[in-house]
């Protein structure tokens, strides 16, 4: 059963507004979020903001925040339905016939938004999300300690899963690849996520859509002139014809293990999430390296259980990564033929 997202939102980018308006009209509810990733000197700083933003080449203004992912999929169940869901998970036979560690069917489409540098649509069962990527080059201006503290306060689950620590070390996105002139000019990477419908496991679906969108992203080639402009900044010439493929070899997949009773499951539906005590989301790359981890839910977890969940997540991530790579390759082949 697909549940309505908690808040209806729309993209603020003119370049994709028409596409989003059409898609949102078809959905029961839609929720959008924008994230910004920036590289300054190699891995010296990162920006990853959650919320709704109005953006142009000259401005980036916060206009709202994304409500908690945990709240967006709440489902009201009767006592009998709760026992049915919990009993099925305990017996390793979930209400839709899956085992505890089995995903719903996954499909990927790429190039859905031609105005973006890259885009993808991912469906996991009845959970349906879109991610798009836009790149802009910016000149670095230090915002001081106060600005850095504000950025730290705006950290969200996707930042923890994809960008690692403050320096970017250990993260799944190589921020050094966004640098044009070290310490002076870099690309700003904007990642838009649209939730078309939600039936649980939003974080994993958004992570998959972001990975697919990044693999579909071309960054314009930028020759840099030897001489500087009158204001001292390097002269850059952004190409409209030559593009460099974004390197996604280190971009992880996100695996969320949801604990219901004494057992934990992957790819939980909204009904199953309503019965959870806690959940851990682990981002793991192709090499099996953990890039980030976040927890939600009020119940505490014993360290030994957390370690076991991470071990299971690493095993499951191999299957998920293979499936995503296969779907992304098939989607790109279809895009080239069309």
Average pLDDT, the chain: 72
pLDDT digits 0-9 by tens, 225-276? 655 555 566 666 666 677 778 888 888 999 999 999 999 999 999 999 999 9
Instruction: Quote the pTM value.
Output: 0.70
Burial of 200 (0-12, 13-18, 19+ CB in 10 A): buried
Closest of 336, 81, 323, 301 to residue 211, by C-alpha: 323
Residue whose tokens read 């028409």: 18
The pLDDT tens digits for 148-166 are 553 343 345 776 677 765 5
């Amino acid at each position: 059963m697909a549940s309505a997202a908690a808040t209806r939102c729309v993209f603020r980018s003119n370049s994709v507004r028409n596409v989003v308006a059409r898609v949102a009209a078809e959905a029961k509810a839609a929720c959008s979020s924008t994230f910004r990733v920036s590289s300054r000197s190699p891995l010296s700083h990162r920006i990853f903001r959650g919320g709704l933003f109005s953006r142009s080449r000259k401005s980036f203004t916060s206009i709202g925040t994304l409500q908690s992912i945990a709240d967006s999929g709440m489902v009201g169940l009767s006592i009998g339905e709760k026992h049915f869901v919990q009993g099925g998970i305990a017996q390793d036979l979930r209400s839709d016939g899956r085992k505890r560690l089995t995903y719903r069917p996954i499909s990927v489409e790429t190039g859905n938004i031609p105005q973006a540098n890259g885009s993808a649509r991912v469906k996991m069962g009845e959970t349906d999300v879109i991610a798009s990527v836009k790149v802009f080059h910016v000149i670095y201006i230090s915002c001081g300690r106060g600005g850095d503290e504000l950025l730290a306060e705006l950290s969200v689950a996707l930042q923890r899963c994809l960008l690692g620590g403050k320096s970017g070390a250990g993260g799944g996105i190589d921020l050094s690849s966004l640098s044009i002139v070290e310490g002076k000019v870099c690309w700003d990477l904007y990642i838009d996520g649209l939730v078309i419908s939600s039936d649980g496991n939003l974080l994993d679906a958004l992570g998959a859509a972001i990975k697919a969108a990044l693999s579909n992203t071309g960054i314009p080639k930028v020759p840099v002139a030897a001489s500087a402009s009158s204001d001292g900044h390097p002269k850059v010439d952004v190409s409209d014809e030559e593009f460099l493929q974004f390197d996604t070899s280190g971009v992880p997949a996100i695996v969320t293990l949801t604990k219901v009773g004494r057992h934990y499951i992957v790819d939980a539906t909204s009904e199953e999430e309503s019965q959870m005590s806690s959940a851990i989301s682990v981002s793991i790359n192709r090499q099996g390296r953990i890039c980030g981890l976040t927890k939600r839910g009020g119940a505490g977890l014993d360290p030994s259980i957390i370690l076991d969940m991470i071990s299971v997540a690493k095993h499951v991530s191999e299957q998920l990564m293979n499936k995503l790579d296969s779907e992304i390759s098939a989607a790109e082949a279809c895009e080239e033929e069309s």
